[in-house]
Amino acid sequence: MNTGIQGIRLRRAVGVAVTTGAVLASGALHAAPAQAAAAPTIVAKGGYVMNNGNGKSLYTKAADTRRSTGSTTKIMTAKVVLAQKNLNLDAKVTIQMAYSDYIVKHNASSARLIVGDKVTVRQLLYGLMLPSGCDAAYALADKFGSGSTRSARVKSFIGKMNAEAKKLGLKNTSFDSFDGIGNGKNYSTPRDLTKIASSAMKSSTFRSIVKTKKYTAKTITKTGSTRTMAPWTNTNTLLSNYSGTIGVKTGSGPEAKYCLVFAATRNGKTVIGTVLASSSAAQREKDAKQLLSYGFGKA
């Protein structure tokens, strides 16, 4: 009895194996292909995303179209400063009236630096990248440009910005300002800005600054006392609103509209990208979130 039952079981098993083999051979049994995520639709007129580890492009939208960049220009400002030989981040810079007058004249974003205060280069970099201080940008250009007059030093510094762009092989980028308040020749593209940011992120100092949400500077006043500045808050809201965000910089302006260069790391992968000419601060963040999530799906 037992032998008969075992025989039936064995014949059934053989039959199933043969049938399965035939199906496999015919190719009828196969895994359904993974559905590729559809590329997101963003409001920004230009966008680009790449895998920061290998430089692979993950998303493009008018990625090589030249546009005004607003304060995302300041990524290059910081990069030029951090590339200086024998850089002393603790060197002090005295804030000049010219920096304050410039802010007033252009109604520009400000780190609220106080004329006569001595501020370190490190503090100026935080003032540049967090509240997007055009006064901090001016101070850095004046400090690190060369020449006997302020205008000559500023011109020299902007020349260094363009030299860095050339060194990176960027053919669609030009700077005529240290902060993005240009005179018609301050432009870049989503692809180029992403490459500038990727290069800047090689600096540990730059990385530390752009991922900081809040920073309080203590400056030295004319009389030698210590002034505790009002905290600088990072304009990059992604740092609080998208898990894994590590930078980089916002930008805006009448021509530039709303821009954002962004980077995030998840599961050991870093995705970096840019959106240019979005419709609002909230929308540029939404655009960036979509591109980051899409990028991580493809990275």
Q: For position 21, what pLDDT does the model report?
A: 44
Which residue numbers belong to the known binding site for substrate? Answer: 249
Rounded distance between C-alpha atoms, residue 77 and residue 124, angstroms = 11
| pLDDT tens, per residue, the chain with 299 residues | 444 444 444 444 444 444 444 444 444 444 444 556 788 999 999 999 999 999 999 999 999 999 999 999 999 999 999 999 999 999 999 999 999 999 999 999 999 999 999 999 999 999 999 999 999 999 999 999 999 999 999 999 999 999 999 999 999 999 999 999 988 899 999 999 999 999 999 999 999 999 999 999 999 999 999 999 999 999 999 999 999 999 999 999 999 999 999 999 999 999 999 999 999 999 999 999 999 999 999 98
Rounded distance between C-alpha atoms, residue 115 and residue 63, angstroms = 41
Q: What number of other Cβ atoms are within 10 A of residue 95's Cβ?
A: 21
Q: Is 131 helix (H, G, I), strand (E, B) or coil?
A: coil
The residue among 46, 87, 75 whose CA lies nearest residue 63 is 46
Q: For position 63, what pLDDT does the model report?
A: 98
Residue type, 217: A
pTM for the predicted model, two decimal places: 0.87
Q: 231: Cβ–Cβ under 8 A, 6 or more apart, which residues?
A: 214, 215, 216
Whether the Cβ atoms of residue 49 and residue 294 lie closer than 8 Å to each other? yes
Q: For position 35, what pLDDT does the model report?
A: 52
Rounded distance between C-alpha atoms, residue 166 and residue 120, angstroms = 29
Whether the Cβ atoms of residue 135 and residue 126 lie closer than 8 Å to each other? no
Whether the Cβ atoms of residue 292 and residue 275 lie closer than 8 Å to each other? no
Q: What domains does the chain contain, in order, with CATH numbers?
A: 46-296 (3.40.710.10)
Residues designated as active site: 71, 74, 132
Which residue numbers belong to the known binding site? Answer: 249
Q: For position 177, what pLDDT does the model report?
A: 97
